[in-house]
Amino acid sequence: MNLKDYVYLNIKNIPELNTDVDLNNLLIYTIDSSLGDVSLPCFSYAKKLHLSPMQIANNFATTINCDAFEKVEAVNGYLNFFVNKQKFATEVLNEALNEGINLGKKNLGEGKVVCIDYSSINLAKYMHIGHLGTTIIGNTLKNIYNFFGYKVYGLNYLGNYGTPFGKMITGYLHYGSKEDVEKRGVDAIQEYYVKFNQEVDNHPELMDEARLWFKKIEDGDKEALEIYNWFIEISLVEAKRIYKLLNITFDDWTGEAYYNDKMTPVINELEQKGLLKESEGAKVVDLEKFNLGTCLILKSDGSSLYATRDLAAVEDRYNKYKFDLCLYVTDVAQKLHFAQWFKICELLNKPYAKNLQHIYYGRYSLPTGKIGSRFGKQALISDMIDSAYKKAKDIMLTRGTKVEDIDKIAMDIAVGAICFGVVKNEKTKDSVFDLEKALSFEGETSPYLQYTFARCNSIISKTKINEDNIKLNNDVSDIVSTNTFELIKHINGYEETLLNALNKQEPSFISKYLINLCSLFNRFYNENRVIENGIVNQNKLAIVKVVKNILFSGLMLLGISPINKM
């Protein structure tokens, strides 16, 4: 429970306070802990009691006699509660010790299904920095919903359909060879694709050829399908390699191509409901009265668009998963697209229309010249991981690390730095991803969190005490100093943080909480001795264990590997 709930539970049965006001929602945290921990503004009582807020606060202060509080003070119309530090610390730490890494876990989603559409890479292209947000935010949301007991399906809606694949085949036939693809794999395929785009301005007939090859794919031409499926398989192998490095998995890999022959029912339904209109030879749904413009369903040549396929896909997903909630994680640029076809689902009276949400985020970029790309302008995720891995390993060697599995740990640090760079700030903000800063062992970084976890693990190991036997003493007076109590109050806020992250669908609540936790813990560590003259302080050791468990839980939710030794 949070500190406000703690105060509320201890005063809710006091008749004078519990009148017609909403006592629980009136309670606020004090800005300065020297003024108390939680405050009750008494202004809402004034009209009913016909007294000034200051007099009301003074009267209330004399009526409260509870061992949950060290004292209660009236200041300028506010009733300030100073919680009993020893009682509060005992309750908070014992609960955290009992719950372990499951602290804050609640089965809120029992019987509910959540689908999350994220990453959704285009197999005609490399995975690049533009995929970071959707991939990592989506995976973190999946972890959070799982933590709270929802049945979650991660959906990777693959871009495996369209003219780009005609371009790839055309590029391969003009500039490549089977031997080269077998030797270099996805690098060769991408090279042909880039070469095609470079040459097409001077040779516009290449575009006609690309369209023809894609038409052959649609028509089931044997040669076209053989090359197409071969390229898809090679691209998927590379994508799955990168996902494995990022510790990200999916439950469903159904791509756009699957819906190629499933859009006719969608179009027919739109026509039957009178929603489909003709505009310059194309088929559209007019959403102007909802300030959503016009949604294009079929081009004038009869080909479908993203909205058409999304409408077919969501129908298929609902039939398959019967979801209670379906989230689509993309950047903010697609906000109108999702608003349009969500509205169309509503107009079609779909049972899932109110269960669709677009989780959008800002753009990610890199400082100029920090990480170059082999193809195109956008940095490739594989290059970012490789660069981060090398830098992490160099830093560890410079610091004189003695760990045996340095390669694995360097990779865990590298991936953690990349993941944390995405979820560190509010998701709707644009961010510049600076790899040098992200790999620092100090400040608001993933290595700082991982290093603090390793420090907790090291302290516990040195005590030679089995973690299962770590517990509080009956007397906790030695751990309620000002700074340590601030740490304990922060520990108490973990459950509330997780609930806020779930309800607001905001991973940065967790990352910011963990940064503050580590800051408070490292201050505690610098001011206290867990082992002194060979004697272990059980209460301080209990705090170390609790912090370690919370870091383990929080890092795993963010998709970051905790590291036992660095």
CATH of the domain at 445: 1.10.730.10
- In tens, the pLDDT along 255-266 reads 999 998 888 999
- In this structure, the answer to whether residues 517 and 424 fall within a common structural domain is yes
Of 38, 58, 83, the residue that ends a domain is: 83
Average pLDDT, integer, range 318-330: 98
Judge whether 321 lies within some domain.
no
The mean of the pLDDT values for the chain is 92
Pairing mode, strands 535-536 and 78-83 = unpaired
Judge whether 254 lies within some domain.
no
The confidence score (pLDDT) of residue 371 equals 45
- In this structure, the answer to whether residues 18 and 167 fall within a common structural domain is no
pLDDT of 364 > 90? The answer is no
- In tens, the pLDDT along 520-548 reads 999 999 999 999 989 999 999 999 999 99
Range of the structural domain that residue 541 is part of:
381-557
N- to C-terminal Cα separation, the chain: 34
Judge whether 256 lies within some domain.
no
What's the token pair of residue 543? 């705090």
- In this structure, the answer to whether residues 74 and 205 fall within a common structural domain is no
Q: How confident is the model at residue 33 (pLDDT cuts 50, 70, 90)?
A: confident
Judge whether 57 lies within some domain.
yes
Judge whether 148 lies within some domain.
no
CA atoms within 13 A on the CB side of 143: 22
Judge whether 98 lies within some domain.
no
- In this structure, the answer to whether residues 75 and 199 fall within a common structural domain is no
Higher-confidence position of 28 and 379: 28
Average pLDDT, integer, range 455-480: 94
- In this structure, the answer to whether residues 399 and 538 fall within a common structural domain is yes
Judge whether 90 lies within some domain.
no
The confidence score (pLDDT) of residue 373 equals 45
Q: How confident is the model at residue 375 (pLDDT cuts 50, 70, 90)?
A: very low
Residue 83, phi-psi category: left (phi > 0), alpha (psi -120 to 50), beta (remainder): beta
- In this structure, the answer to whether residues 425 and 519 fall within a common structural domain is yes
- In this structure, the answer to whether residues 206 and 79 fall within a common structural domain is no
- In this structure, the answer to whether residues 417 and 540 fall within a common structural domain is yes
The confidence score (pLDDT) of residue 374 equals 45
- In tens, the pLDDT along 210-228 reads 999 998 998 889 999 999 9
Of 245, 278, 311, the residue that ends a domain is: 245
Could you identify the residue written with the tokens 């049945």? 151
Of 245, 279, 311, the residue that ends a domain is: 245
- In this structure, the answer to whether residues 58 and 197 fall within a common structural domain is no
Give the Cβ contact number of residue 287 at 10 Å. 19
Q: Structurally, how many domains does the chain consist of?
A: 3
- In tens, the pLDDT along 129-149 reads 889 999 999 999 999 999 999
Contact 26, 44 (CB under 8 A): yes
For residues 366 and 234, what is the distance between their CA atoms, to the nearest angstrom? 28
CATH of the domain at 60: 3.30.1360.70
Beta bridge partners of 252: 155
Give the Cβ contact number of residue 459 at 10 Å. 19
Judge whether 414 lies within some domain.
yes
